[in-house]
Structure 1
Amino acid sequence: MPLSSLSFQSTSDPAEAKAWFGELVAAEPVLMSVIASVTDGLVADPGRYENPRWWAGIDGSGRVVAAFMRTPPFPLHVAVATEQQGAALAEHLVAEGFSLPGVGGRRRPVEAFRDAWVQLTGGSARTVMELGVLDLPRSPRVPFEVSGHYRRAREDELERVSRWAQDFADAVHETPRPAPRLDSHVAAGRVGFWVEGGEPVSMAYVSAANGGVTRVSGVWTPPALRGRGYASGLVAALSGERMDAGERCMLFTDLANPTSNKIYEAIGYRRVGDDVEVELSLS
């Protein structure tokens, strides 16, 4: 597609963004999972992020063919785009005078965005994380015994849920980032604990389904409790519960973390794509 045939519309209204991207969510629910769930969250709670913005790439026939989102302090998220469309957005944002701390999403369009951004601004870029995109094509299983059991988190456990969500965010990201608020997830039964001896020992949560796809996130076991299979039991149970409800499961995994990669593979997850997060700076 020639760059001249692609135009961009932007909005700070989550309801408008949701309407723009409905067809893309239905067609590409895995690629659109982050934008879909975050946008839904902002429709319900507009104050969740300050100054959010979405960009839709529009082709010559007026169709939305590319989707991008920024929810500060997080980097720009590239969901659905070709390499050419990623580079075109970089050109558009530089021309508009936007400043960005980074960009993340599907590898090839993100790298095209990065290259165009660096060339146009004279800045620099550094890859800070490489992620595998995994889905679950069959019922999950744990190939070994794990002591304890799965249950949903209760609303009187929000303090622990919030603390562990922030612990996960602190461990995963180089720079401080706020964990998502999970009140609505707990109320909807989408936060799970693995419990042993009456005490939670591991936690994970899932997004509300969009396009039939739910995303497993925030898998956290406190360091002193690791190595006992709790995360394996939890992710398998939580994923199985969502599959039984008719949802398709996906997740992101840090490719530099062999432990989590082995856990997910043993449960039955398979790698279907690659994401990357890039830090941008003007130097």
Structure 2
Amino acid sequence: MAWHITGDVEEFLAGAGGFLRARPVQNTLMLTIAEAVRMQGPHVYGPGDPVFGWHDGEDAAVLCTPPRAPVLSAMSPDAAASLAELLDADLPGVSGPDVAVDAFVARWRRRTGRAAKVHGRQRLYRLGELAPPTPQPPGEAKVAGARDRDLLVEWTAAFFREVGEDDPEVAQFVDARLSYGGVLVWETGGAPVSMASLTRPESGMVRVQAVFTPPQHRGRGYAGAVTAAISRAARDAGATEVVLFTDLANPTSNALYQRLGFIPLEDRTMVEFAS
């Protein structure tokens, strides 16, 4: 049994799409990233050429959009170790479910001699029964539009800096979501004070992203309110699954999302390789 590696997203989806879509919650990153590449072109995430792969012996996949590190699906330690023998030796790191990442990193270090360190851990949640915050803070949720673009770009850039990603494609990220009404802002007195965005639906699943409240507006319940509002809007629009990731180092956000009805599913590790 072997890995199939390709730079063609259509070939990847033909080979791996079936099992990825069968578990859209666990494979949320794979599905949404591949769909973005399919719709917006191979360099939507940067100038490097993407790499995709799937294993013909088990339901396992990998996706890499340089300069980002590869993302692994759930897979056996043997599949992860064999993948570490195939990918480019200059990878910046790797991320994915803990078991897969641990096996990949162990083989990678033996192969390359490069040091590796954990630089973040995330938890995947899916929404159960939505429990909007009570009492709700003053204000209301509104679908963001072109008039909000500059502010959303500023806030999204700040969000990525806070989570350590510093994404250079912030404007493209915002424009893509504005194009399908995928950003809500919470407004008080007619002024935005918080935001949340959604991915496009994929196999009935959407992912809440970039929940951000500027520091001067924090501690007033706006993040919970806008997250509940965008989650309700997603379900009203037909989404069967609403998911999100949290930083495990942030107990505040983990507690908040659980109060809103999000249920923890699995943990993921992000590893950096020494240059």
What is the TM-score with the length of structure 1 in the denominator? 0.90
Residue 120 (structure 2) pairs with residue 129 (structure 1):
yes
1:25 aligns to 2:20 (yes or no)? yes
1:262 to 240, 246, 255: 255
Look up the match of 1:39: 34
SS in structure 2 at match of 1:65: coil
2:65 to 55, 66, 71: 71
Q: Structure 1 residues 187, 176: closer, same or farther in 2, change over 3 A?
A: closer
Which residue of structure 1 lines up, in the alignment, with residue 82 of structure 2?
88
Q: Structure 2 CA distance, aligned partners of 1:39 and 1:163?
A: 26
Q: Whole-Å Cα distance in 2 between the matches of residues 268 and 137 of structure 1?
A: 5
For residue 54 of structure 1, what is the aligned residue in structure 2?
Answer: 52
Q: Distance in 1 between matches of 2:27 and 2:274?
A: 27
Matched, 1:118 2:114: no
Identity rate of aligned residues, in percent?
32
Q: Does 1:240 align with 2:238?
A: no
- Report how far residue 182 of structure 1 moved: 2.3
* Alpha-carbon separation, structure 2, partners of 1:193 and 1:254: 22
- 2:182/2:197 contact within 8 Å kept: yes
Change beyond 3 A, Cα 1:108–1:196: same
**Pairwise mapping of residues 120-199 of structure 1 onto structure 2 (< 5 A)?**
120-173=111-164, 176-178=166-168, 179=170, 181-199=173-191
Q: Secondary structure at the residue paired with 2:131? A: coil
Report runs of 4+ in structure 1 exceeding 6 Å deviation: none
Question: Structure 1: any 5+ residue segments left out of the alignment?
Answer: none
**Separation in 2 of the partners of 1:265 and 1:199?**
28
Task: Check 1:120–1:262 CA distance in 2 against 1; reply closer, same or farther (3 A cut).
Answer: same
- Find 1:231's aligned residue among 223, 226, 229: 223
Cα deviation 1:102-155 (Å, max 9, x = unaligned): 100111101111111112211111101111110111133213221111111102
Structure 1 counterpart SS, 2:86: helix
Q: Distance in 2 between matches of 1:139 and 1:224?
A: 27
SS of the residue 2:104 aligns to: helix
Deviation at 1:19, TM superposition (A): 2.4
Preserved CA contact (<8 Å) 2:123 2:246: yes
In 2, Cα distance between the equivalents of 1:21 and 1:182? 28
Pick from 206, 214, 222 the counterpart of residue 198 of structure 2: 206
1:26 Cα deviation from its structure 2 partner: 2.1
TM normalised by structure 2 equals 0.93
State the 1:226 CA deviation.
0.5
1:181 partner letter: F
5+ residue gaps, structure 2 = none
* Residues 176 and 186 (structure 1), Cα distance of their counterparts in 2 relative to 1, 3 Å cut: closer
- Three-state SS of the structure 2 residue aligned to 1:103 is strand
268-277 or 48-57, which deviates more: 48-57
Instruction: Give distance in 2, aligned partners of 1:228 and 1:77.
Output: 35
Q: Distance in 2 between matches of 1:108 and 1:144?
A: 40
Paired AA for residue 11 in structure 2: E
Q: Structure 1 residues 161, 20: CA separation in 2 closer, same or farther (over 3 Å shift)?
A: farther
